Amino acid sequence: MQSVKLTILGSTGTIGESTLDVISRHEQYQVVALTANSQVEKLYQQCLQFHPQYAAMVDENSAAQLAEKLKKAGLEISVLSGTEGLETVAALDEIDTVMAAIVGAAGLLPTLAAARAGKKILLANKEALVMSGHLFMEEVRANGATLLPIDSEHNAIFQCMPENYSEGLAHVGVNKILLTASGGPFRTQALDQLNTVTPAQAVAHPNWVMGQKISVDSATMMNKGLEVIEACWLFDTTADMIQVVIHPQSIIHSMVSYKDGSVLAQLGNPDMRTPIAHAMAWPERIDSGVEPLDIFEVANFEFEKPDMQRFACLRLAYEAMARGGTATTVLNAANEIAVDAFLNEKIGFLQIPQIIESSLTAVAIDEATNLEQVLKADQQARLHAKEMVLRNGRVN
């Protein structure tokens, strides 16, 4: 297999660490650049192991600390800082592939830089498409970039699609996309008990090992709502073509229903190294380090329809996608503020969708025809959501 040179955006997060684990199993992959927000020690240790040419940190003080540690260790690694540093390493001439694994809106600009540079993008940052789907896909097409999904669900859909799906789902006989969801830790808990749940309970996902923000999104099912929006852009379809299916075992990662009655599904143990390895090697296959699925141990599969009253965030995501324009940008920004406030115990769990819905009502929705409009909507939504948090999440 040909040598592949990579930049990993967000290497200290769970996706970044899983990517490095897969890379460590194969000689053909070379890490050229690693990036992080402010975790100096973790990025330093990764630099010691993988010897990249570049390291970038969003926080300038953290970047200075990292540079000093690397110098003392005798490592000649160029250290960059700020969003501009991330954009630089995402567009390096010498790299082939960019793992876009930064959580949230912070990943938008460096991922856009990778698209504009025509890179092979392994997209784990769903917010890039949620915030600016039309603009992002235009950049991918205009610059000849390759976009491969890393979210386990979208990667599963990609694997179940025919090669020519870009000609149109109706043209290739697709009837519906079945997007699976675990239902999170509160799937069966009484609704009147949800406002008393703690951040520790919300981040305790029953199947997946994930960061705090995405774990809370899974508990509210906003994560699934964001994935519905992402799937619309990835597969050039509408939200009414995507049906969310709660599947508590998290073994079937998603399915594609065809007009002839066939339903194709991708199965596997719940481990992000599987979709990472698939996208890294595509169209070939490599070892991911994941244990093979024992179908007899799983034994049974369960499926449920999502309750839109219990999972108001999922309903809001469908509504935002239907409105179009910057509505999904507002949805994402308000959610990031609300989740952060919940994790810091400033609001209750059930106030997360209230703040998001208030933001979607209060912030003007624009057409999202340029990046300035997207960033303006993002900023306005954050300001409104922060005001709601200051009122302890009480929505007038």
Helix axes 312-323, 327-343, angle to 10 degrees: 150
Q: What angle do CA 137, 139, 141 make, to 5 degrees?
A: 70
Closest CA to 312 of 241, 221, 191: 221
pLDDT tens-place string over residues 357-388: 999 999 999 998 899 999 999 999 999 999 99
| pLDDT tens, residue by residue, 260-282 | 999 999 999 999 999 999 999 99
228-246 tens-digit pLDDT: 999 999 999 999 999 999 9
* Residue 246, both tokens: 């709660």
Question: Prior bond to 275 cis, omega within 30?
Answer: no
User: pLDDT tens digits, residue range 147-165?
Assistant: 999 999 999 999 999 999 9
CA–CA separation, 316 and 296 (whole Å): 38
Which pLDDT score, from 0 to 100, does residue 26 have?
97
Q: Tell whether 109 is covered by a domain.
A: yes
The verdict on residue 235 lying in a domain is no
Q: Can you give the pLDDT at residue 189?
A: 86
The predicted structure's pLDDT at residue 88: 98
For residue 50, the enclosing domain spans 4-149
- What CA–CA distances, in Å, run from 73 to 12, 44, 55, 67, 69? 20, 10, 15, 10, 6
Q: Is the pLDDT of residue 395 over 60?
A: no
> Is 291 part of any domain?
no
Q: How far is residue 339's CA from residue 321's CA, in Å, rounded to a whole number?
A: 20
pLDDT value of position 394? 56
> Which domain CATH number covers 62?
3.40.50.720
What is the DSSP-derived secondary structure letter of residue 291? P
pLDDT of res. 318? 97
Residue pair 314/320 in contact by the 8 Å Cβ criterion: no
pLDDT of residue 278: 98
Can you give the pLDDT at residue 294?
95
Record the pTM: 0.92
Q: Please say whether the beta carbons of 156 and 223 come within 8 A.
A: no
Q: How many domains, in total, are found in the chain?
A: 1
| Model confidence band, residue 225 (pLDDT cutoffs 50, 70, 90) | very high
Tell whether the model's pLDDT for residue 122 goes beyond 90: yes
Quick: pLDDT tens for 346-355: 999 999 999 9
pLDDT, averaged across the chain: 94
Query: Looking at residue 208, what is its pLDDT?
Result: 60
Provide the CA 376 distance to its chain's centre, in angstroms.
Answer: 22
Q: Is residue 394 part of a domain?
A: no
Nearest CA to 341 among 300, 279, 380, 384?
Answer: 384
In a domain, 66, yes or no: yes
pLDDT, position 205: 67
Which long-range contacts does 14-20 make (Cβ < 8 Å, 24+ apart)? Answer: 14/209, 14/210, 14/211, 14/272, 15/99, 15/101, 15/124, 15/150, 15/272, 15/276, 16/99, 16/101, 18/271, 18/272, 18/273, 18/276, 19/99, 19/101, 19/122, 19/276, 19/280, 20/46, 20/49, 20/50
Q: Is the CB of residue 339 less than 8 Å from the CB of residue 389?
A: no
**Domain presence at residue 230:** no
Q: What does the pLDDT read at residue 368? A: 87
What is the reported pLDDT for 144? 97
173-to-21, 177, 179, 213 alpha-carbon distances in Å: 37, 12, 18, 36
Is 22 inside any structural domain? yes
Q: Say how far apart CA 334 and CA 385 lie, in whole Å.
A: 5
Coil, strand or helix: which one is 149?
Answer: strand
Measured distance CA(384)–CA(390) in Å, rounded: 10
**pLDDT single digits (tens) 95-115:** 999 999 998 778 999 999 999
DSSP string covering 122-133: EE--THHHHHHH
Does the residue 59 lie in any domain?
Answer: yes
Per-residue pLDDT averaged across 116-128, rounded?
A: 94
Structure tokens at 339: 């989740």
